[in-house]
Amino acid sequence: MQTTPRQKVIFDHDGGVDDLLSLMLLLSMDHVDLLGVTITPADCYLPDATESTLKLLRLFGREEVPVALGNLHGINAFPAEWRAQPKICNAFPMMLNTPVSDAQLDCRHAPQFIADTLIASDSHVTVLMTGPCTNLVAALKGNAAAQAKVKELVWMGGAVDVAGNVSTHNHNTSAEWNAFWDPIATQDLFALGIEIRLIALDATNELPVNKAFLQDLAKQADYPMSQLAGQFWATTVNSIPAYEFTYYMWDVLATSYLALGHTSFTFERAELAVSVKEPNAGQTYRSPGSDQWVMVATWADRDQVLDYVLKQFAR
Ligand code: AGV
Ligand code: CA
E strand intervals along the chain: 7-13, 32-39, 67-69, 125-129, 150-156, 196-199, 265-274, 284-286, 293-300
C-beta of 12 in contact with ligand 1 (< 6 A)? no
Query: Is the separation of the CB atoms in 5 and 31 below 8 Å?
Result: no
C-beta of 275 in contact with ligand 1 (< 6 A)? no
**Rounded distance between C-alpha atoms, residue 37 and residue 262, angstroms:** 25
Minimum-distance ligand to the CA of 76?
Answer: 1
Each residue of 276-296: pLDDT tens digit? 999 999 999 999 999 999 999
**Rounded distance between C-alpha atoms, residue 89 and residue 11, angstroms:** 19
**Rounded distance between C-alpha atoms, residue 249 and residue 309, angstroms:** 11
Nearest atom within ligand 1 for CA of residue 244 = 17
Ligand 2: distance of its center to the CA of 137 in Å?
16
Ligand 1 pocket: which of 12, 82, 198, 235 to mutate (most atoms within 8 A of CB): 82
In tens digits, the chain (315 residues) has pLDDT values of: 667 899 999 999 999 999 999 999 999 999 999 999 999 999 999 999 999 999 999 999 999 999 999 999 999 999 999 999 999 999 999 999 999 989 999 999 999 999 999 999 999 999 999 999 999 999 999 999 999 999 999 999 999 999 999 999 999 999 999 999 999 999 999 999 999 999 999 999 999 999 999 999 999 999 999 999 999 999 998 775 445 668 999 999 999 999 999 899 999 999 999 999 999 999 999 999 999 999 999 999 999 999 999 999 999
- The protein residue whose alpha carbon is closest to atom 11 in ligand 1 is 177
Ligand 2: distance of its center to the CA of 13 in Å?
6
Q: Mutual orientation of helices 302-312 and 250-260 as an angle, nearest 10°?
A: 80
Ligand 2: distance of its center to the CA of 19 in Å?
5
C-beta of 51 in contact with ligand 1 (< 6 A)? no
Nearest-Å Rg of the Cα atoms of the chain is: 18
Ligand 2: distance of its center to the CA of 102 in Å?
23
Ligand 1: distance of its center to the CA of 41 in Å?
13
C-beta of 205 in contact with ligand 1 (< 6 A)? no
Burial of 296 (0-12, 13-18, 19+ CB in 10 A): buried
Strand order in the sheet with 293-300: 67-69, 32-39, 7-13, 125-129, 150-156, 196-199, 293-300, 265-274, 284-286
DSSP helix/strand/coil, 84:
helix
Minimum-distance ligand to the CA of 282?
Answer: 1
Cis peptide preceding 208, ω within 30 of 0 = no
Amino acid at 280: N
C-beta of 301 in contact with ligand 1 (< 6 A)? no
Q: In the CATH hierarchy, which top-level class contains the domain 7-312?
A: alpha beta
User: What's this model's pTM, rounded to 2 decimal places?
Assistant: 0.97
Each residue of 118-171: pLDDT tens digit? 999 999 999 999 999 999 999 999 999 999 999 999 999 999 999 999 999 999
Nearest atom within ligand 1 for CA of residue 236 = 18
- The protein residue whose alpha carbon is closest to atom 18 in ligand 1 is 82
